[in-house]
Amino acid sequence: MPFDEEDKPSVQSQKIGIKKVSSQKSIFETMSKNPTQEDLDKKVQQVQERDSSYKARASDLALQFNKAMLDKTLPQNKNVLK
């Protein structure tokens, strides 16, 4: 009868089981960890510095623009030393 064979495990049953994953990397290793409070504070500081530098540059450019608009000197009458 087919079920009276020896107690050898079949080839199919040997393939079933848990794969060895020690050589595989976990998908969670590449994920970023939750940022700490120090990291968040550093990012906030960087954003605030960038914001203040943008405001300072914008005010400087606005002053230069107003100065250029108020200057009535013709371009051919301007020199480098003025």
From first to last of the 82 residues of the chain, give the pLDDT tens digit.
556 556 665 666 666 666 665 666 777 777 778 889 999 999 999 999 999 999 999 999 999 999 989 988 887 888 877 5
Task: Tally Cβ neighbours within 10 Å of residue 20.
Answer: 7
C-alpha 6 chain-centroid distance: 61
Q: Does the reported pTM lie above 0.75?
A: no
End-to-end CA distance of the chain: 112
pLDDT of residue 74: 84
pLDDT of residue 6: 60
pLDDT of residue 35: 84
Q: Using CA atoms, how far apart are residues 2 and 9, in angstroms rounded to an integer?
A: 14
Q: Using CA atoms, how far apart are residues 4 and 11, in angstroms rounded to an integer?
A: 17
H helices of 6-70, in order, are: 11-15, 37-70
